Every structure is written in C-alpha cells, then in structure tokens.
Structure 1
C-alpha cells in the first residue's frame, strides 16, 4: 500500500480525547490532527516521536489531517491507523502473499454473519470449498519483543471470537488474522494480563477449529505491506 499523496512529518506533542493529537511541524506550526485509533496506543504515542500524517481534500472535515504512522525514538515504525489493517490484509491476499489464504476466487468485505449480527472483515469463497471467514486485528502493543492483543479490554473482540467459533463448528473455515503493524514485533500472543476473558475465549476458539494466522509488516513513510509470517502462541 503506497501512501498517495505522500505523508508529512511532525513531532508529537500529545494525544488526548482518544481521537485527537497535537503535533508540531518542522516549520513550527502546531496542528491538531485526527487519530483513528480507539485503543490505549501503549508505546505508540510518546511525546517527541515522529508522527506521519495524511491530509484529506474533503473541505467538510473539521480536522483534515489524520495520524497514520509513528516513527519512535527507538527506531520502530508503527501503523496507528487501525482502519488500514483490513485493507492491508485484503491487498496481501489478492496479491497471493498470504499462502495460507490462497486459492479463493472471491473476496468480500464487511459481510453480515453470525448469531450476534456482526460484520466479518473478509469473506473468501471458491467453488467446492467451505467459506473462509476472516477477522482481522491490528497488533501494535510491543512488550519484550512480543506483540500482544488486545491493548485494552475488548468486548467487541470477545464477540468476534464467539462468532468465529460458531462458524468453525458449522463446518466453515474461520480465521483470526493478526496484522502486526509494529516493526519491533517478532511474535504474537494474546494479552492475558490485559484481557483474560479474551485470552480464554481465544483458547476455546482454537480448540474448536478456529485458525490463527499472524503476519508482520514492512513500514516506511512511503509504503506499508504485510510481508512475513510470525509465530503465534496462546501463552
């Protein structure tokens, strides 16, 4: 995924009210930009980090600039715009970069499914194969080189696990896809220390046929792409 138009850089002053951040441009201008990330963003929003932001041409937007990437003072790149995870996964599947999800002829996004009335992130279909339901999660919490999900208690994520398990029990293919959008992450695990219920539900889902696939990203101010399979463990 290329960033077009190119992103611009600024220094992070602070993130606040969950959806807003103040940054200082190289010219000394203070901007308030939108942050499309509802999570805790632990380690992704340290004052002094470099923020890379996009700018919308929509004149109706109150905050035309959007926070896309963080380049930390430790040298790691992080995609903080969680809305990009689904697009990155779909792009990688369409380009046959996710071998575990190859061989399907049709990809749909945001399809209603499940007894709890959710929308699946990605639905893959092919003749003479079960449907493949894929829930995509963005992983940006780095602790001791490991990536953990979630970074805050997620009732919505718990519901998704129940619905994936339901699909697996009905004979469909159900996949939880972790997109590790932090270049410091080299493995993925559930964050039991943050949301024990999520970790328990994930273990139960795996025991009933839900697959877990984890991929890491190559990130720069110019481009981001899912590239490398990462190990996953339940602990």
Structure 2
C-alpha cells in the first residue's frame, strides 16, 4: 500500500486473499514482509504497525486483487470474473467494511489485476497473462457515478507478452505497468510518456521498458536486488 496524491493504494495480486483491510496510522506506509527463509532476516516494519480497521465479508471480495481510497471511499476489485465489478465501501475508514454498492458493467475483462484512479475515473488494469499468450493488455476506465466504461488497449513495444500485476498512475496522469516473472520485474511506461488525458480511445498505446530489476530469490523485502534502467 502506498500514498499517492493523498490517496492510499494497495496494488496487485501476490497470491493471497486479503480479507483484512489495514491502513497505517499517522499517514506512514507500512512494509509488508513475506515469511523469512533460513538465510534471510525478516524485514522490520517502517513506522507504526498497521491496525485492522474491519473485515470485508462480501463473498465477491473473497479474493481481493486491487483497491484504492478516493476521498475517503474505498474501491476494490476481485481477481478474475466475467464482467467489470468494482465494490464501493464508503465506511472503511470508520471501521465498516460493508459494500455500499457494486458498480458493474457487462464489459468482460481477460484478467483484471489492479485498480487505480485519476481525474474522477477509476482505472482497472486488465493486464494479467499467466500463460503469456496475450497480444495486447488493456486499461478499463470506469466512471463511478454513471458506471460507464471504455476499453483502452496497450501493446508491449517488443511484442513479447508479460504477466503484469500492478498499475500506477503518476500525478500527471501517465500510466505505469509493472510485470513479474520469477524474480525479474519490469516497469513499463507509454512510448512518448503519453498521459491518460492524451490517450484517445480507441487508439492503441505502446509500452516500452523503463526499469528492470532482478532478485536472487522470490521477491523478499530483505533480499538484495539489482536495479537498472533508463529515465
């Protein structure tokens, strides 16, 4: 979970089903550590340890994949599904994880993995590709007020499929996609650094590698890693 323009966001699906929503106290992000191996010391939390606020009990969120807080309201998406489905939870910050409403659309995503927001819209990252067969991935914009959606396709510039998990949107509105593959991660940005406001549907956006990193073992906060890239 990270802070971005005043919003707290949890990005990506890492093989677990979080049933507890946690927010760090006093606006300090927390470090989430995996179990330590025999050779690695467990990572220590940075700042105050997060406390549970509430437990989502809606069956539609049994495998929660991405969430974001916008103006005090939490929006979350489940992993997979045959339609666009975003859960709105207006009382999470007050300790109530009840789903206020489900925002749905008949658009059928391939493998939605993450959720972000920019300029009044929610953006669903339909970027999962476990078998690495997809020719394109996509971002789906969703108006939380009307429920209307639009599909925006992206293609990796080198035409190699990736399995991605995370969507970030910088303060200028540029989407950033993060992929994973057995200790190798890649960060992709649009060619020409195009922003969402300059991306006219249905034009297809091309992604180029900006940063790569390699971990000697499955990603662990305490493990050393190599980072390289261009800026």
Is TM > 0.5 for Structure 1 vs Structure 2?
no
The structure where helix makes up a greater share of residues is: 1
Q: TM-score if structure 2 supplies the norm length?
A: 0.29
Q: TM-score if structure 1 supplies the norm length?
A: 0.28
